[in-house]
Structure 1
Amino acid sequence: MRPSSPLADGAGELTPAPPPVAAPPEAQPIDVRPLPSPIAPVPAPLPVEAAPEPVAEILVEAAGRAPTPVVSAPDLEAYADGLVPAALTRGGLAGAVAVVVKDGQMVLAKGYGYADREQRKPMDANRTLVRPGSISKLFTWTAVMQLVERGKLDLDADINTYLDFRIPDYHGQSLTMRHLMTHSGGFEESGKYLFVENRARLMPLGAYLKTVQPRRIYAPGRVPAYSNYGVALAGYVVERVARVPFNDYVEANIFAPLGMRHSSFRQPLPKGLAADMALGYPLAGAPPIGFELINAAPAGSLSATGADMARFMIAQLDLGRYGGNAIVQPYTAQAMQNTLVRPIAGLDAMTLGFFRRDTRGPVSIGHGGATEAFQSSLVLLPEHKLGVFVSVDGPARAGRALHRDLVNGLLRRYYPERGAPPPTVVTAYLHGRQVEGRYESSRQSSSNFLAIARLFGSATIELNEDETISVSTFRTPDGRLKRWREIAPYLWREVDGESRLAAKVIDNQVIAVSSDDVPAALWLQPVPTWRSPAWMVPLLYVALAVHVLALALWPVAALVRRQTQRRLRLDGRERDLRLLSFFGLIGNVLLFALWLWILSRIEASPRALGGGLDPAIRMAQLLGLLSIAAAAVTVLNARAAWKPPLQRLRRVCATAIAAACIAVVWLVFALKTLQWSLVY
């Protein structure tokens, strides 16, 4: 759920992600292949996208390729024991839980490190609760499909059919549950009240959805843009259709049949579970934070033990059945796992709620999850009846590295990919030149100040001398840029690696680029030239430098005049304009400083978006208004400086200051910092 950067695995995160952009040119529908089943198939092809900044991984070479080891409890435990404890120490992590199921049985369930460092309370996969973050969404989608199965919900009906408020159409195109399940509803990123600091800011689900409703910036079914709001909306539909609170519904219809007695979406946790909740340690060596509170509960508020997650994985692998109980019928489970929406040909797909990897290695489905303190991953291999769940408590980067390395290492160990990579195609140079440029994530905001993330979170694609391409946000575990060589038209394979990258091209125009390093719920799309960071970032730095330099030289000039006994040859009006310009510069510098402080708070914790920053944001908006007045004053001052008698230095300085202040006004509007609403 955390915010994510352009082309990392932000799609599995609960937290708000920085980024937005204008809808791309008429995109062709996405490859949608419904599986035959009683559940209504996709009526018409849909479309979608991808991309955030890759996170460092812990390098662990899969061992024993020949012969391939057999999946067994001793081998699994030995492998995990050889990796996890060292990673906890190296990354400053508090603890981790690792669970593996195979053929309907739990073959590994082990905790590492501590659930409470101070009390030296160990992590226990059977007892300790963790926060799986966005893996919660799989329970919401299961609940949705239960209602579809019972004929109470239509995946392709206008979502407003089930709501007590209205989601506006996008240019006459309505939103459906199928769009929500494939993250192609077209919502911009929503961060307000996603995480909150105290119970007083927790809202009923319906009130939250009505308060923070984000703008729809893409046509439905055209662009993949991961949305926590969309999942929360789906959970509210479950609540409305079932006529019981979402928490009650999940407990009665999913937890109870699966025997998940140590799991809950409730916030705070019931007393019987609270004592077993692992404390959250988002910073190495720092005290734990309190129980994380999430308003978009269906998108990420689950608390569960590793053993309970094993039950859920077994049910999904056995087409909805666990023991003698069923949470969905086999045809419904098959529809969830095999109805494909493939945003870009050659890359992975989305199903009805799962991220699906089917372009390399064994076919797998799953979901990632992240809160402020926990990083988690759930992966299922339906063909092999294997499921893996890992949740790590500690600093985000190290946590992501550990769970990725453990999951990917296990898959490589037991199901290694074999075969020589295909050769480079002759179009490598031509297509490399075609995809060069700046890109931004489809998961973004475009109507509020979170649009600032587009300025600093963009990705650059470059053609290398050896005709490979590099993407600035995709790096190897040791920090080097990955290089990709073209193996088919608009399809690249990582040099000395296995991942793939592809471009969606329509009428010889690049619409989007993505990689199977990230889920199919977002992509990178070209940045419009008019607001490209290539010139906006330098403009910002130059404008700031002029402001700081002018303010620094102002008292220096006054001292020089005093020492030389030279007076300013200005009349009263010119003196007033010069003084007002000075105050305008101070206001603009305060504006820069205030936004820098606000963004640093948001970067430090998503709880900052829970309303606590609203007074500072309002002050920044007021300073943005004053920047318009400052620009007007500095323009008048520059005009006065060009009147006789001409003073070259004053003329140059006044003109530079006026230009810098005009640039500030442009940035204030372009970065949406002057939007008066406090919904973001």
Structure 2
Amino acid sequence: RFMHAQLTDGGGVLSPGGLELLHAPSVANHPGVAANALGYWINAVWGYPTLEHGGSIFGFLSNLVLVPELELGVFVSTNAPTGNRLTAQLPQRIVGQFFSAGREWPEPDIGTDLSDFVGLYRGQRRGHRTVDKLMAFRSGDLQVAANDQGFLTLGSGAQTQRFVALGDDLFFDPDLSEFIAFSRDSRGHVTVLHGAYGHNNFDRLARWQTVEFVHHVLMALAALSAWWLFALAFTRGARRRETRSGLVARYASFGLLLAWAATVWLLNQDMLQTPSPTAIQFAHFPTGQGQQWILASWLGTALSALMLILLVPVWRGGQWGLGRRLIFSALTLTSALFVGLLAYWNVLGAPTLG
């Protein structure tokens, strides 16, 4: 009855004017992709304009698709979290099976250069100034790639979609009948991916903004730490007695390694290993363990600054051999880079949702 009312005269509940207002586009992030109406996404299936709304809660997935031109409504609901492809594809398959005669979409062109669009993208609906920015480590980013068949592919987790280029930075998914588009900056570089629905936009990531880059820096920090400890334990210093700056640098490095080890371990236990963090948990942050890794990260930051200052006397003093000075310098600079990453991920500057 709800779908019938939406597809006809409002069922005596809504006036024709109210129904028209409900279905009219209100927000669109890009002219090539779906716009938002009042409670609906305006999309298209096999070229037919549609009004759609889907959602999920506690393992249930549902999708409502109205096709006014065909006076058709399709509602799909599943009670399994793996039913997302069914709820997304069944309405498209029904329209394709019975109403797609004479409607065709272009085939991919293997010779099309899609390299401008390839990269990692992260949804704009995320924490930007708060600690929940770390949830990107759990949810993952959207991988855009090009395959050897001429398709642009979008992958997130185990799911992958394929898109055909339509021109003007617009792409079409022939399997789900969805459009995506890209925006460029003033220099012509692709910066934003506009998803199939009007509220989903994705920023293109620079290399240093990715989760993978953090992992690489952590591995480099671990390797340099082991190398530094080896150098201190199994190499002899200069013949003359170590100066005060050398002693301070050595002890500061010990404290730094302990601070970073504590930060990473506590942060992983408190945030990244939590089964299902929610906004309520973030709102009551920091927990006792959260306070510990915040303090550890601040200590590591202070010691990194001290080691940067000590680089000058360490190199000018000459009481260490060249190898030890190089390792100390590499460890100090990598630690400073790690501090920058902690600041970017809001570990240092924005510990709460406030």
Q: Structure 2 CA distance, aligned partners of 1:546 and 1:474? A: 27
| SS across alignment from 1:421 | coil
Q: Is residue 342–residue 520 contact of structure 1 (8 Å, CA) maintained in 2?
A: yes
Structure 1 pair 637–540 and aligned structure 2 pair: CA distance change class (3 A): farther
Matched, 1:594 2:249: no
Residue from 198, 202, 209 that aligns with 1:524:
202
Question: What is the rounded CA distance, in whole Å, between the counterparts of 1:317 and 1:497 in structure 2?
Answer: 22
Match of 2:247 in 1: 575
Q: Report the secondary structure of 2:122's partner residue.
A: strand
The answer to whether the 8 Å contact 1:436/1:461 transfers is yes
Q: Please report how far the alpha carbon of residue 568 of structure 1 lies from its aligned counterpart in structure 2 after TM superposition.
A: 10
* CA spacing shift, 1:637–1:538, aligned 2, 3 Å: farther
Matching of residues 340-355 of structure 1 within 5 Å: 341-355=27-41
User: What is the rounded CA distance, in whole Å, between the counterparts of 2:5 and 2:143 in structure 1?
Assistant: 42
- SS at 2:348 equivalent: coil
In structure 1, runs of 5+ residues without a counterpart are: 1-103, 105-311
Q: Aligned pair in 2 of structure 1 residues 665, 593: CA closer, same or farther (>3 Å)? A: same
Aligned partner (choices 331, 334, 343) of residue 669 of structure 1: 343
Task: Report if the CA contact (8 A) 1:347-1:502 is conserved.
Answer: yes
For the pair 1:657 / 2:339, whether they are aligned, the reply is: no
Give distance in 1, aligned partners of 2:160 and 2:320: 54
In structure 2, the CA distance between the partners of 1:656 and 1:511, relative to structure 1 (3 Å rule), is: closer
TM-score by length of 2: 0.79
Alpha-carbon separation, structure 2, partners of 1:359 and 1:481 = 16
Higher strand fraction (1 or 2): 2
Deviation at 1:679, TM superposition (A): 1.3
Q: CA deviation at 1:663?
A: 0.8
Letter in 2 for 1:448: T
Query: 1:340/1:412 Cα in 2 relative to 1: closer, same or farther (>3 Å)?
Result: farther
On the 8 A contact 2:123/2:201 being kept in 1, the answer is yes
More helix by share: 2
Structure 2: 5+ residue stretches without partners: none
Give the 3 Å change call, closer, same or farther, for CA 358–341 of structure 1 in structure 2: farther
2:104 counterpart of 1:420: yes
Task: Give the structure 2 partner of residue 25 of structure 1.
Answer: none
Determine what percentage of the aligned residue pairs are the same residue. 19
* Structure possessing the higher relative contact order (Cα contacts under 8 Å, 6 or more residues apart): 1
Q: Distance in 1 between matches of 2:351 and 2:311?
A: 34
Alpha-carbon offset, residue 656 of structure 1: 1.4
The CA distance in 2 between the partners of 1:636 and 1:584, in whole Å, is 14
Amino acid at match of 1:470: L
Distance 1:534 1:664 in 2: 11
Equivalences for residues 182-193 of structure 1 within 5 A: none
CA gap 1:560/1:514 in 2 versus in 1, 3 angstroms: same
Give the AA of the match of 2:336. Answer: I
CA contact (8 A) 1:614 1:678 kept: yes
For residue 273 of structure 1, what is the aligned residue in structure 2? none
Partner of 2:296 in structure 1?
623
Q: Is the 8 A contact 1:392 1:399 kept in 2?
A: yes
Amino acid in structure 1 at the alignment position of 2:214: L
Q: CA RMSD in A?
A: 3.9
Q: Which amino acid aligns with 1:400?
A: N
The structure-2 alpha-carbon separation of the partners of 1:590 and 1:407, relative to structure 1 and needing over 3 Å to count, comes to farther
Give the aligned residue type for 1:665. Answer: V
> Which TM-score applies when normalising by structure 1?
0.44
The separation in 2 between residues aligned to 1:655 and 1:558, in whole angstroms, is: 14
| Corresponding residue to 2:152 among 463, 467, 470 | 470
Q: How many residues in Structure 1 have an aligned counterpart in Structure 2? A: 349
Distance 1:519 1:609, change over 3 A: farther
CA 1:505–1:577: 2 relative to 1, 3 Å: closer
Distance in 2 between residues matched to 1:374 and 1:607, nearest whole Å: 21
Secondary structure in 2 aligned to 1:363?
strand
- Report the residue type matching 2:24 in the other structure: N
Amino acid paired to 1:350:
N
Q: Within 5 A, what are the aligned runs for 1:211-250?
A: none
* Distance (Å, rounded) in 1 between the aligned partners of 2:101 and 2:290: 51
